[in-house]
Amino acid sequence: MSLSELMDWFAQTSDIGAQALEHIKLSFIPVIAAMLVALPIGLYIGHRRRFELAAVSIANLGRAVPSFAVLSLALPIAINVAGWIDRPELGLGFWPTFVALFFLSVPPILTNAYVGVKGVDPDAVDAARGQGLSERQILRRVELPLATPLIIAGVRTAAVQSVATATLAALVAGGGLGTYIVLGFRTGPSGRPSLIGGAILVATLAIATEILFSVINRALSPKTVSKKAAAFRSPAQITQPDAGAA
């Protein structure tokens, strides 16, 4: 396949924008749902230091199970549920993909939230307690801001993995950029422009997602961490004036 053939494929394929939007929907809705579930659990475990073994076990289990296996299990379940409610169109496409990407996204978000809060400087937490803050205020005003960089990193990992893995949606009629890749495999040598073009589009979207979250992390981290760390330093951490100073 030549470069001109690939460029012709990009020029002649008119639905790239629509498929890209579908891919974004398939990728990010499961990540948002995983955040709503995993973030509160991770923050609670990190703050209270409870159920730590369970958190680590869940995270490791989620990493060990392949997304394709979850998709294969979710597909017949979604089809049966859709049949029970007399909505057969719901059995394919979005919901099996959602289940697979949701379980893929939970481990990094849960782990990073737990580790980020647990790793907050104990002196800052003790100083906040000494100022009379409640446990909820400590979590919201001290631990959460200081753990923000690691939490965003977990969401970034989940989002990039979800974008890359959402290509599997095409196998269950879910649409997205994976449609071009599947079409390329099915049509053999003549489908190579579609195969390579789809792969380039998915890779570009994954890189764009990585850059987006890197910018968000860089924008939030310096201000949040420096202000909160300065506000809740313990007296022992404050530099004393030099004894020989005038």
Higher pLDDT, 169 or 82: 169
Please give the average per-residue pLDDT across 145-166, as a whole number: 91
User: What distance in Å separates the CA atoms of residue 89 and residue 69, rounded to the nearest whole number?
Assistant: 22
Query: Is 146 a residue whose pLDDT tops 90?
Result: no
Question: What pLDDT does 218 receive?
Answer: 85
Domain presence at residue 132: yes
Count of structural domains, the chain = 1
Question: What pLDDT does 226 receive?
Answer: 47
The answer to which of 19-28, 100-109, 188-197 has the lowest mean pLDDT is: 188-197
Please give the average per-residue pLDDT across 142-159, as a whole number: 90
Domain presence at residue 202: yes
Domain presence at residue 15: yes
Query: Is 160 a residue whose pLDDT tops 90?
Result: yes
Q: What pLDDT, in 10s, does the model give residues 183-215?
A: 888 887 777 889 899 999 999 999 999 999 999
Closest CA to 154 of 121, 119, 115: 115
Question: What pLDDT does 171 receive?
Answer: 80
Q: Provide the pLDDT confidence category of residue 238 given band limits of 50, 70 and 90.
A: very low
Residues across the chain: 246
Domain presence at residue 100: yes
Please give the average per-residue pLDDT across 172-178, as a whole number: 82
The answer to which of 61-70, 141-150, 175-184, 203-212 has the lowest mean pLDDT is: 61-70
Mean per-residue pLDDT over the chain, rounded: 79
Query: Is 37 a residue whose pLDDT tops 80?
Result: yes
Neighbour tally for 196: CB within 10 Å: 17
Domain presence at residue 40: yes
Domain presence at residue 246: no
The answer to which of 71-75, 100-104, 112-116, 176-180 has the lowest mean pLDDT is: 71-75
Query: Is 244 a residue whose pLDDT tops 90?
Result: no
CATH number at residue 23: 1.10.3720.10
Domain presence at residue 179: yes
Higher pLDDT, 60 or 47: 47
**In which domain, by residue range, is 35 found?**
3-230
Higher pLDDT, 217 or 225: 217
Q: Provide the pLDDT confidence category of residue 63 given band limits of 50, 70 and 90.
A: low
Using the structure block, give the residue that is written with the tokens 């919901």.
95
Please give the average per-residue pLDDT across 99-128, as a whole number: 86
Work out the percent of the chain whose per-residue pLDDT is above 90: 24
DSSP 169-238: GGGGT--STHHHHHHHHHTGGGGHHHHHHHHHHHHHHHHHHHHHHHHHHHHHHHHHHHHHHHHT--GGGS
Domain presence at residue 238: no
